[in-house]
Amino acid sequence: MSTELAGKNDKIRRWKTCLSVIVDDRNRMAHVTFEHAPPEYGFVDYIVSLNDAVKKRNILRIQTNTTSANFTDLKNGDYTIVVYPINDNNCYPFCSRRKSDIFSIERNTNNLLNLTVCGNETRTKTLINRPLEATATPNIWKFYLLFLSLIFVIIAFIVYRRKRRHITADNLSSLKNNTTTSTGKVKVFVIYAEDHPFHTEACQSFVHYLNEHCFCDVLNTYPEYDSVPVPDMEKHSDFVLVINSQTLYCEFRAWKFRETYPDMKSYFCHELFEKILQNVKESPSSGTCEYLMCAMDYTDDKYIPLEFGRCEPFKIIDDMTDLVCYIQKLDLSSIKGRDIPRVSEHIYTSPDGNALLSAIEDARYFEKTHPNWFQEENISVSVTGCL
């Protein structure tokens, strides 16, 4: 029995609690929590002591029968916390003293620290700079859980975006095996009207993005094609993309119904319109240029010529994936999205894509803030490349 008693006394002498200290600079307080000793050890209360770490002296001592304590209105300085149990005789084993690391209270800071000491392990963590409610101890763990969940969501989002970026790059590279010309790229020519400078900039950004990232050989980027009339570009192209707009619509109406609009001049590409109408009436055979109607997403649907066949043109940017897959002869339905180049996603992760987004937003804002720009500017309207 003496051996068992000696062993139990040894455990009591060597027992130390696990200590946690939340240090809140902004509220100038320290919240202490610790573990209760086993009942059979006979400890009834605990002494929680706040000590000056520099002068090595006690500042405040709290005796409690709970497992928490608060020290408030702390002055600037360096401190330590010491916790030890006592029995009915106010005695305690010296080995049971548990001491925290040194922590500081500083002026004009919002640090929120968590110091933990358990066994031989000591840790210090910096938490979100947020005040701690001294009277709301149960909410501390909710705060921890919310903080950890936020960190997990941020990390998961970063990993997802990086993964999607690699997948998008690989999928865009796969277009090299789906092109139709001997140069390895589909030849495309883009037609657009110069409605206003912002619309022109958006169209030029679209041409650049299509040429650089969608494995298209856009003939607009070659100076040698500047002298070729627009209606003759179908001889050099696999696809002609017509970006519809208010100006182009008005030119078409003026050509077909002899209508006029402000400062109207003879810029009609009647051969172009005739070829577009002929192309949509006849199914293009292999090797024949195909006309595709497109529109910026800020262009009102009422400016879509129904005579051009497609009631809903490819919208830039929303239908970019569908447009590129159509040009590259990729079947959206058969491959079920596994190898489809996610152009719409790539736009948001590349400098050229962001430039296109910015140009479109500038044009959208201009037309929204100048609803009568077509009449007010009274511009001489022309279609790019028309003679």
CATH number for the domain spanning 74: value is 2.60.40.10
**73-83 core/surface letters (b: 16 or more CB in 10 A; e: else):** ebeeeebbbbb
- The answer on 245 and 370 residing in a single domain is yes
pLDDT above 60 (res 55)? yes
Q: Is 132 helix (H, G, I), strand (E, B) or coil?
A: coil
pLDDT above 80 (res 356)? yes
- The answer on 343 and 224 residing in a single domain is yes
Q: How far is CA 37 from the centre of its chain?
A: 49
Write down the mean pLDDT value for the chain. 76
For 63, residues 6+ apart whose C-beta sits below 8 A from its C-beta are: 45, 46, 47, 48, 86
Quickly state the pLDDT bin for 355 (edges 50, 70, 90).
very high
Q: In whole angstroms, how far apart are CA 7 and each of 91, 94, 98?
A: 19, 17, 21
CA distance 12 to 153: 44
Q: How large a percentage of the chain has pLDDT more than 70?
A: 72
Comparing 96-110, 125-139, 142-156, 192-206, the range with the smallest average pLDDT is: 125-139
Amino acid at 140: I
Domain contains 138: no
CA distance 323 to 292: 9
- The answer on 176 and 52 residing in a single domain is no
- The answer on 171 and 120 residing in a single domain is no
- Two tokens at 128? 């979100």
CA distance 337 to 341: 8
Range of the domain at 72: 2-131
CA distance 25 to 224: 70
pLDDT above 80 (res 79)? yes
CA distance 320 to 326: 10
Q: Are strands 103-105 and 77-86 parallel, antiparallel or unpaired?
A: antiparallel
Domain contains 143: no
Q: Give the Cβ contact number of residue 69 at 10 Å.
A: 22
The residue behind tokens 């919208």 is 315
- The answer on 99 and 164 residing in a single domain is no
pLDDT above 90 (res 362)? yes
**What is the DSSP secondary structure assignment for residue 350, as one 8-state letter?**
S
- The answer on 214 and 83 residing in a single domain is no
Domain contains 141: no
pLDDT value, residue 91: 67
Burial of 28 (0-12, 13-18, 19+ CB in 10 A): middle
- The answer on 189 and 98 residing in a single domain is no
Tally of domains in the chain: 2
- The answer on 168 and 60 residing in a single domain is no
Domain contains 387: no
The residue behind tokens 């990390």 is 155
CA distance 321 to 310: 17
Query: What DSSP assignment string belongs to 166-207?
Result: HHHHHHHHGGGGG--STTSSEEEEEEEB--SHHHHHHHHHHH
Comparing 10-19, 201-210, 338-347, 362-371, the range with the smallest average pLDDT is: 338-347
Burial of 352 (0-12, 13-18, 19+ CB in 10 A): middle
CA distance 83 to 46: 7
pTM exceeds 0.85, yes or no = no
CB 189, CB 236: distance < 8 Å:
yes
